[in-house]
Chains A and B, each alone.
Chain A
Amino acid sequence: MSMVNNTAKTYTGTATSRVDGRAKVTGAAKYAGDFNEGGLAYGAVVESTIARGRIARIDTSQALRVPGVIDVITHENRPRVADTDQAWKDDVAPEEGSPFRPLYDDMIKFNQQPIALVVAEEWEIARYAASLVRVDYEKQPFVTDVYRKRDDAIVVEKPDKLRGDAAKAFAAAEVRHQADYFIPTEHHNPMELFATTAMWDGGGPLTVYDKTQGVQNVQQYLCGVFEKKPEEIRVISPYVGGAFGAGLRPQYQVVLAVMAALKLQRSVRLVLTRQQMYGLGYRPATIERLALGARRDGTLDAITHEAVGVTSQFEEFSRNDTGWSALLYTSPNARYEHRVAPLDVPTSCDMRAPGAATGVYALESAMDELAVALKMDPVELRMRCYSDRDQNEDLPYTSKCLRECYREGAAAFGWDKRNAEPRSMRDGRNLVGWGMASGVWEALQMPAAVRIVMTANGHAEVSCAASDIGTGTYTIMAQVAADSLGLPIENITIHLADSTLPRAPVEGGSWMAASACHAVVATASEVRKELLRLAKLMKASPLADTVEEDVTLSDGKLVSRTQAERGVSISDIMRHGAMERIEKEKTNEFAEDKAHARNTHSAVFAEVKIDEELGVIRVTRVVSAVAAGRVLNLKTGRSQVMGAVVGGIGMALHEETVYDHGFGRIVNHNIAEYHVPVNADIHDIQVIFVDEPDALVNPLGIKGIGEIGIVGVAAAVANAVYHATGVRVRDLPITLDKVLARRPAT
C-alpha cells in the first residue's frame, strides 16, 4: 500500500485547495435544511420550561386552530415507536443508561426538553402555533449544579491496576502542588442549526437529509426507533455546517422530523432554533483535582488526577479525562479516577477532543504551577518528565516527536526571551504573559470501506459513507485517490455521507483521515490489480510478465515501478478489455499491533497582553507545534489546527453555558451571550507540523489532526495569563473580572 513514486504530480502531503471549495463559496453546497423539493411541511418544537417533573396536561387545541397547522404531535398522540433501550441506542450512545426518547411519555427530564411538535404549511405558522400550546406541569425538585452532586458522583473510570502509591508519594514529595480546576459546561454551537428534511416519497424509502457526523449511525438508529427495514430509510448529509461532536449522536430533531413525515405521509423539515440547540448535548462541566509531587530536580514522584463531570439522570456519558495525566509524564506513582454526577440536564456528549481538552487543561495548568513552585522553566520541567513510553500501558510509541514540538515551537515563539518572573514583561500599559502547555490525543483508525468506479475516460468516482464536517475529508480522499490511481485530482469525484454508500465510521475522534484514506488505497489497489489482469491480456503487452507488486498507476497509465517505459494507458487497457468501467469496493485492513501506543502530541505557546488596570485580555500570538504523523494536506491541516486554536482561545477566555440553578435553566442560550471568539479576538496563529515519520501506526503514517489542535490551548492561555499578572484563574473562562478580583495587592 505504499504511495506511488514517480515524477507525475503528487497531491498527498501538499497544500491542495479544497475540492469542495467552489461549492462552498458559491452557495451551491447543500446542507440538511437546504433541500426544498417535495412540498415541504415545516415543524416547530415546543420545549419544556421546567427541569424536572411531568406533564399534567397539554392542550394543543388552540394551536390546531391556526390556519395552516397540519398537526401537533405530543406524547399523547404520537405514532408508535420502539420501546426498548436497545432500539434507541446509537453507535455513540453511552453503554450505561436509557437514551432519551422525544415525545415518548409525560416525563420531563431536563429544561428545554421537546414536548410537542407543531407541523404547518409554513414555518412561521408552526412557530406561532407552537407558542399557543398550553402546558400544566407537576414540578419536581431538580439539581443542575455539579458542585451540589460532587460527593455523590459515580466512579466510571479508573486504572485496572494502580501504579505505586500516589497518595503516599505525594505526601513525601519535596515539592507539592494540589489544586482544583473547573471547566464549565460548553456548547458546540456549530454555525449550522440542527436540521432534518425528511422526504416522503409516496410510501417508498424515506430520504432523510440530516445534520449528522454519521449517516449510517442515524440510519440504523432510525430503523431501530421506527422499526423499519434498512432499505426503508436512507440518510444523506452531503455538507455539514460544523458539528464538533454535537452531530455524533442522532439528535432529537431527526426523530421528530421522521415521525411527522411517517405520520402525515408528507415531507417535513424541522430546523431547531439556536436557543433550542442548548437542549442538546454539551461538553460536561467538570471539576478537576490535580495533585503533583516532584523532586527538586523536576522529576515527578506522584500524579493524582480526579475529575467529576456532568451527565444526565438517564445516561452515563464520560470520556477519558484523567487518564492523560498518568499517560503523559514519567512518574513512578500515579492514580486517576473519573466520576460522573447525574443532574437534571440532557446527557453530555463529545465536544472537540472530549476528555482531553478538559483533563489536559487541568494537568497542564497544574504542571505550570509546579514549574513555578520549582522555579523551573515550564518547558524544562516537561523535558525532565518526558516519557518515551506510554506510562499507563508501559508501551513504546509508534512515534512520539513531542520533544521536537517543544523545540520547534519554542524556537518559533522566541521562548528563550521569556523572563520567568510573573508581571515582569510589559508593553505599555499591558502586562505581557507567555505560557505554554503540552497536548496529547490518540491516533485512532476504524474499519471503513470505499468503492471506486473507474471509467475508460480516466475518471474515477470514489464513494464512502463518511461525513465531511468541514475537516477536509472530501479533499484528502481526492488527493489520496488521485495519487493511488495516477490521475489528476480534477478527474476524481468524491461521494460522501449517504447511508447507502460503503461503510464508514462516524466522523470523530480524529480517526477519519486514516480510516478513509487507507480504504481508498486498498480499493485503488484492487482497481490496479484488475487493470493489470486486463493489461496482461493485451497482445504484446509490455506488462505481460509483470507481477502486481511491480506496477503502479501514474499519469493515467499502468506502469512498471522499475522500468517506467513499460506502461499502458488506462484507457487503452479498458478499451482493449471492452470495459466501460471498473468497480471495486474494499474495506481497509489495519494490522493488529498491541505492542505500541499510538498518540499525537503538541506543544502550544501563547502570548497574552492584559491591560493592568482594566483586566482586558488579548491573545496576541499562538504557536502550535503538532506532531501527528503524516499530514495529508498542509493547507486544510493548518486550517484545522488554527481553527482548533481559536476554539481553545474561546474555551480559555469566553465560553461558558451559564445556568440559573434556581430555574435549572440556561440563561445565555443564544450566540450573543454565549460568547465564542469573533474575528477581533483572533490575531497571529502559527501552526507547525513537526516532521514525524511513522511506519508503524499504519502504512500511510496518518495519525489524524482533528482533536489535537485544541488540546493544551486553554492551559497555554491560562498559564500566560498567570505569567502576565501573577493571578492564577483556575475556573474557566478567564474573564477580566476574575483577573481583577484576584490580582495581587500592589
Chain B
Amino acid sequence: MDFEWAPEYTDFRDELRGFIQQWRTPELIAEYAATHGGQGPRIREFHEAIAERGWMRMCWAKEVGGEGRNMLYQFIFVEEMEYWGMPYGNLTFTSIAPSIATFGTEQQKRHYLPGIYRGEFVFAIGYSEPNAGTDLAALRTRAERDGDEWVINGQKIWTSLADVSTHIWLAVRTDPDAPRHAGISIIVVPTDTPGVTIRPLYTMYGGHTNETFYDDVRVPVENVVGGVNAGWGVIMHALNHERVGLAATGGLARIYDQLLEYLREERPDRLADPVVRGRLAELELDLREHRMLALQNAWIISKGGTPIVEASMAKVSGTELRTRIANVAMDLLGRSGALSAESGDRAPFEGRAEFNFRLSPIFRFGGGTNEIQRDIIGFAGLGLPR
C-alpha cells in the first residue's frame, strides 16, 4: 500500500493548474454559467485547447485513439476541472465516452469518440420517464424497426442539456414482449432529428432541465449501441461511470476553500470563534473521508476493474457531503449566506454556498438514488439477502 503520488502525477497536476489559470477568464466562466453547462464560442475554444493536449482521451485505450494512460490521470483531470469550475464535457466525457469505447461498434467509435474529445459532440442522457424514475426498467418509450430505421415514440424527462446537445443517449424499449430488463436498447438520436421536441423545466437552482418528446423520430438502425435488447448492461455501465463524475471531490473542496478564504478575509471575528473552527474541522474531515472513497473508486478503474460497490459508496458520500457543505457554509456565513449571486459583491464568494444548497438535492437522487446505491452496497458489497 502506498498513498503517495509519484512525480508524474504531481507534475501533471501542476501542468493542469498552469493551463487552467491561463484559460480561466471571467468571460469563460460567465459563458459557462449562462449556458448552464452547455456550449458557447469560448467553451468551444477551451475544449479545443484541451483536445489539442490530448487530455480528453489520454485514458482511452490506444485502439480507440487514446494513449491508454492510467485512469488516475483522469481522476486528477476531473478533480482539477471541478475544483476550478471549468467546462470539460462532464457526463459526455465521464460516462458516455467510456460506454461507447466499451460497447460501440468500430464505426461508432470512429464517429463519436473524436467528436467528443474535440468537444464538438455534447450528449444529453435520456433514461428517466414520468413513470420510470428509480424503477428505470419500467421505461416505455419504444423503438420499432421499419426497414433500416428505428421509429421512436415516447417521452423522457430530466433530459438535461438536451437543448444544447448534439445527441441524445436514449434508452428505449425495443422488445415489449421480453422480460422488462431484456427488452431495452440504447439508441443515439441526433438532437436535430425531426420529431424531437424539447420543453424546458425551470428549476430552483436556476437554469433548467428538460422534458423531451419523441414523435415518429427516425434514426438509422446502426445507431444502437451495445446490441439490440442489450441496453440494460450498457446503461448500468454508463451509470457506474456517471457516479465517478458525480463523486468528484474537486467541486466540494472548492466550496470549502472559498468559505475558509472568505471568513479569513472578511470575517476574521467569526473564524476566531472556536465553534466555527470546530464545524470547519468537521467538514475538512468529511472531505478527507470522502476523497478516500473517490480515490478508491478511481484506483479500481485504474487497474482495469469495474467498481460497482466503490462507485456507489463514493456517490453516496460525495453527494450527501455537498448538501452538508453548502448547509454549514450558509450557517457560518449568517444572513449574507442567503444572498445570491445577483446581490453582486454583497454575496459571499459569488453566492456559491447559496447556489449549491439549491443545487445539491439533484446529486443525491440523480444517477441512481442514494437509497438504491445503499442497496447496491448491501447486495453486491456485503452479500446481504434479497
Q: Do A and B come from the same complex?
A: no
A contact residues vs B (CB 8 Å cutoff): none
